[in-house]
Amino acid sequence: MVMDESVNPRLDRLFSALADSTRRSILMKLTNGDEGVMELAAPFDMSQPAISRHIKVLEAAGLVTRHRQGTHRMCRLAPDALGEIEPWLDIIADRYRSNYNRLDAVLETMKPSQQGDD
Amino acid sequence: MVMDESVNPRLDRLFSALADSTRRSILMKLTNGDEGVMELAAPFDMSQPAISRHIKVLEAAGLVTRHRQGTHRMCRLAPDALGEIEPWLDIIADRYRSNYNRLDAVLETMKPSQQGDD
DNA sequence: CCATTATATAACAATATGGTTATGGATGAA
DNA sequence: TTCATCCATAACCATATTGTTATATAATGG
């Protein structure tokens, strides 16, 4: 019995890609505009192949797209990439709130009769 | 030169914890209220120790808290747990939008004089 | 005390992740 | 063609993650 849509490989890849400081840094940098791999790699104390693989992970997660531009392979932040996360956050938040409301109602029911029980 | 606050172990742990369907399922289940480990484990085709460790990961990420209740160790969704993600999403989204605005401006500037250069 | 139930921990194996160096392929310039 | 630059891939290693089974610990009840 699947209780929700939590079994979601796309979301797995998205969150997994975001779970690395280097990759989040790369994304932040890309908000300033497209950049090549070498420029992206520059600030990091890490080899170019390492950065290449981080970019590959971001690409696989749908967070980054690429296109050739001369000898450069430009990286671009995918427009609606992070948008997939928000619905999930909203679902959690909504369900959580509605549960708290129910809990409040229960507590309200109990209050007149007795209190002091923890 | 650190260009942003992306080097953030807390965020690492948060995203990493969310990058697993089983753990997201557990979180969803907890929006219905507190539950013990056995109840949480029930829907999964997985051993109890496996679920115990998933819960431990969620706890370490600050997504879940626990308290004893008789022989049960009840799991509870941490109230503001996911709240830490939203600011980061907002920063990314804001920077991305402002960049797009700048890009639009540049394109607007280029349009009257010339186009066709890629 | 002993048994039961709930949960954690230990020990282990398989696979994933993230880094390295070395090298290969693609593009543009001379 | 030849060279330099940009980037990807291969091979490799160390560590982390995720599952397993077996066992230990904690609380509760007879």
Q: Using one digit for the tens of pLDDT, what is the confidence trace for A22-66? A: 999 999 999 999 999 999 999 999 999 999 999 999 999 999 999
Per-residue pLDDT at B25 exceeds 70: yes
Residues B47, B53: contact at Cβ < 8 Å?
A: no
Q: How far is the C-alpha of A107 from the C-alpha of A118, rounded, in Å?
A: 11
B113 compared with A65, residue with greater pLDDT: A65
State the CATH architecture for A8-79: Orthogonal Bundle (1.10)
What does the pLDDT look like over B35-66, one tens digit per residue?
999 999 999 999 999 999 999 999 999 999 99
One-letter amino acid for residue B106 of the chain: V
Q: Which residues of B touch A86 (CB under 8 A)?
A: 89
Q: How far is the C-alpha of A36 from the C-alpha of A32, rounded, in Å?
A: 12
> From B45, which residue of chain A is nearest by alpha-carbon distance?
A1
Q: How confident is the model at residue B3, as a pLDDT?
A: 42
Burial of B94 (0-12, 13-18, 19+ CB in 10 A): exposed
What does the pLDDT look like over B64-106, one tens digit per residue?
999 999 989 999 999 887 888 888 988 888 888 887 665 555 5
Q: How confident is the model at residue B115, as a pLDDT?
A: 38
Q: How far is the C-alpha of B25 from the C-alpha of A4, rounded, in Å?
A: 7
Extract the tokens encoding B83. 């709240």
* Residues whose CB is less than 8 angstroms from the CB of residue B64 and which lie 6 or more positions away in sequence, other chains included: B26, B27, B30, B55, B58, B75, B76, B77, B78, B81
Per-residue pLDDT at A112 exceeds 60: no
Helix (H) or strand (E) holding A67: strand A64-69
Q: How confident is the model at residue A108, as a pLDDT?
A: 52
Neighbouring-strand partners of residue A65: A76
* A49, closest nucleotide (Cα–C1'): D8
Q: How confident is the model at residue B108, as a pLDDT?
A: 52
Per-residue pLDDT at A16 exceeds 50: yes
> Across residues B102-111, what is the average pLDDT?
53
User: Looking at the partner chain, which of B12, B88, B99 has a beta carbon nearest the beta carbon of A31?
Assistant: B99
Q: Is the CB of B50 under 7 A from strand D?
A: yes
CA distances (Å), origin A58, targets A20, A100, B54: 10, 36, 25
One-letter amino acid for residue B108 of the chain: E
Instruction: Spell out which residues of B between 48 and 77 contact strand C, using CB within 7 Å.
Output: 48-49, 52-53, 55-56, 66, 71-74
